[in-house]
Amino acid sequence: MGVVPHKNVFQLHCCGNMKKVVPASRTLGVKHANRDLVPIAEQVEVSGKKVLYLNIGDPIVFDFRAPESIWQSIEQHRRECEGYTNAIGSNAARQAIADYAKRGGINGVTKDDVISFVGGNEAIILSMQALLNPGENVLLPGPGYPVYTGEMSFLECPLNVYQLDEENDWQLDVDSIRKNVNKKTKAIVIINPNNPTGSVLSRKNLSELVNVAGEFDLPILADETYDQILYDGTEFVPLASVSKDVPVLSLGSISKTHLVPGFRAGWIYRKDPKGALDDYFEAMHRLCRLRLSNAGIGQVAIEAALNGEQNHVKEMVAKLKKRRDLTFKRLNEIRGLSCVKPKGAFYAFPRINLPIKSDKEFVIDLLKETGVLVVHGEGSGQKEGTHHFRIVFLPPEETLSEAFDRIEGYIKKKFK
C-alpha cells in the first residue's frame, strides 16, 4: 500500500462522493443570540436598506477609542507580544489584577489567586468546562448573557435559570435562587452590572445572595465585566468584598472598561479564604495549559490598562450617560414599550407590551421592515410570558434617534 498521490485525493473531493462529516451532536444547541440575526441583516442590506447594528456591544465600532497609554505600552513590549506567554497569564498581568482587586476593597488576593484568559468569554467557557459534568448545573440569571447558556448546552448540562425582578429594578430574586438549587447545582452565577438589563445589584441584594449561597454551600461566580461603567453615582460593590467565607470567583475583562475588545484579555480572581476552590483552580490551570499560551498583547494590555491613567473612564461614561438618557426617554415614550432605567453597562432591555407571539419574530420583522437590528429577549432566560429586546446604546445620539424613529414608526404602523 503506497501513499495516496495528491491527484487522487483531489479527485475524491471533486467527485463529491465523500460522506458528509457529522459534527458532534453537542455543538447543535450552541447559539449566541446576539449574533444569530446578522445573516438576515446582511440580506436586508443587500436589498438596499441601511442597517443600524444595535446588537453588538463593541464600542470600537462607534466613536470610542482605546487609551493611547495602552498602545504605547504595547509598542514598548513588542517582543513579549510576539512570543508565547504563560498559559495562565503573565506574572505582571496577574499581579496587576490582584492589585486591582485590592483597590476594590478585597483583601488577601495574590497573583496566585488569579488566572488570566483570552478574553472574558474564554474565562466563562473554561470555568464552566472545569466545573460541570454532563447533567450538572450552575444557576444562571434570567435575563442573562447567552455565552453561559451556549456553553451549558455544549457541556450537556440542563439550564437552571433564576429570575431577576423587573418590578424591582432587575435585582436578584433571592427566593427564585433558593427554589432552583438542586442536588446537581455546583455554583451560582451573577452578572453585575448586568448584560442585557443594565441593572446594578445593591449591596443589600448581594448580601442576601451570599447568605443563600452559604446556606447551600455553593460558590458564586460574579461576572463583573462592566464594573466601571456606571451612571447616576450608582455604587458598584465587588461581590468578593461582601462575602466573608463563601468562595467567590470574580470574572473581569478590559474589553469594555478599557475599550480594547480586540485584545482578548480577561481574568478570574478568587476570594477563597478556606481553599475550597483549590482543585477547581487547578482544573482551570490544566485547561489553560491545554491551549498552551495566553494572548501576548492582552497580557501587556492588562497591566497597562489596570495600572495606567484612568481618565478615559470618566469621558466614556459621560458620553454614554447622554446616550442612556436618550434611550431611556425614547423607549418609554413609544407606545407598547416600557424600560427600566439602566444604571450600568451600555444596554437597555425594554419590555414589549404588544400583542406578539414571540420577540424573535418581532425583532426579525422590525429588522426587515426598518433595518434596525436589536437582539430578541428569547433565549436570554427572561420570565415566561414576557417579551423584550436588547438594544445597545453605544452609538452617537443621531444614530440612536434614527433607530428610535424607525422603531416608533414601525410600531405605529403594525399595531394600530
Ligand X SMILES: Cc1ncc(COP(=O)(O)O)c(C=O)c1O
In the complex, the residues that contact ligand X under the rule CB under 6 A are: 57, 119-121, 145, 191, 195, 223, 225, 253, 255, 261, 266
**Cα(28)–Cα(375) distance, integer angstroms:** 20
Task: Give me the least distance between CB of 416 and ligand X, in Å please.
Answer: 37
Q: Which is nearer to ligand X, 195 or 202 (CB)?
A: 195
Q: Which is nearer to ligand X, 143 or 308 (CB)?
A: 143
Task: Give me the least distance between CB of 294 and ligand X, in Å please.
Answer: 13
**Cα(190)–Cα(210) distance, integer angstroms:** 11
Q: Which is nearer to ligand X, 73 or 121 (CB)?
A: 121
3-class SS shares of the chain: helix, strand, coil, % to 5 = 45, 15, 40
Q: Which is nearer to ligand X, 127 or 327 (CB)?
A: 127
β 160-165/137-142 pair status: parallel
> Which amino acid type is present at position 17?
N
Task: Give me the least distance between CB of 149 and ligand X, in Å please.
Answer: 12
Residue 154 burial class via C-beta count within 10 angstroms: exposed 0-12, middle 13-18, buried 19 and up? middle
Q: Which is nearer to ligand X, 104 or 196 (CB)?
A: 196
Q: Which is nearer to ligand X, 190 or 367 (CB)?
A: 190
Q: Which grid coordinates belong to 182?
A: 438542586
Task: Give me the least distance between CB of 142 and ligand X, in Å please.
Answer: 14
Task: Give me the least distance between CB of 192 and ligand X, in Å please.
Answer: 9
The HSE-up count of residue 107 (CA atoms within 13 Å, CB side) is 2
Query: DSSP class of residue 254?
Result: S
Task: Give me the least distance between CB of 150 and ligand X, in Å please.
Answer: 12
Q: Which grid coordinates belong to 64?
A: 470610542
Q: Which is nearer to ligand X, 255 or 327 (CB)?
A: 255
- Phi/psi-derived region of residue 241, left when phi > 0, alpha when psi is between -120 and 50, beta in every other case: alpha
Q: Which grid coordinates belong to 138?
A: 450552575
Q: Which is nearer to ligand X, 85 or 255 (CB)?
A: 255
Query: DSSP class of residue 245?
Result: S
**Cα(235)–Cα(241) distance, integer angstroms:** 13
**Cα(234)–Cα(211) distance, integer angstroms:** 23
Task: Give me the least distance between CB of 222 and ligand X, in Å please.
Answer: 11
**Cα(166)–Cα(173) distance, integer angstroms:** 10
**Cα(33)–Cα(353) distance, integer angstroms:** 21
**Cα(119)–Cα(347) distance, integer angstroms:** 20
Task: Give me the least distance between CB of 130 and ligand X, in Å please.
Answer: 17
Q: Which is nearer to ligand X, 330 or 390 (CB)?
A: 390
Q: What are phi and psi of 325, to 5 degrees?
A: -60, -45
CB 281 within 8 A of CB 123: no
Q: Which is nearer to ligand X, 349 or 410 (CB)?
A: 349
Task: Give me the least distance between CB of 124 and ligand X, in Å please.
Answer: 6
CB 149 within 8 A of CB 191: no
CA-based nearest residue to 139, from 193, 182, 200? 182
- Phi/psi-derived region of residue 141, left when phi > 0, alpha when psi is between -120 and 50, beta in every other case: beta
Task: Give me the least distance between CB of 254 and ligand X, in Å please.
Answer: 7
